[in-house]
């Protein structure tokens, strides 16, 4: 069985106003991940992804694609110790 991994992610580019949060939430749920996603006032999208390391790794690669009209220019990740529990959620903009 895979180890559990948790990462904090900032996605930059044209990622707001294109359905990126909903797309991200669907992709995370389909991979069995917990965590959250939200827009930032800076124009970026922020997320915490937690689950089996192979599923997190796959999701990190998938973040570069995004929905049809997204144009991702950077995905920055930082490992975290805390593991979110419960369902994956879309949060309000901060």
Q: Which residues are catalytic?
A: 21, 39
> From the CB of residue 86, how many other CB atoms can be counted at a distance below 10 Å?
8
Closest CA to 9 of 36, 45, 47: 47
Cα–Cα distance for residue pair 50/63, rounded to 1 Å: 14
């Amino acid at each position: 069985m895979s180890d559990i991994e948790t990462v904090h992610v900032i996605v930059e580019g044209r990622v707001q106003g294109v359905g990126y949060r909903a797309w991200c939430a669907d992709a995370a749920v389909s991979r069995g991940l917990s965590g959250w996603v939200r827009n930032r006032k800076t124009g970026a999208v922020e997320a915490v992804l937690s689950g089996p390391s192979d599923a997190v790794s796959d999701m990190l690669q998938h973040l570069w694609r995004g929905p049809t009209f997204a144009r991702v220019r950077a995905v920055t990740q930082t490992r975290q110790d805390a593991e979110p529990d419960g369902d994956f959620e879309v949060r309000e903009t901060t």
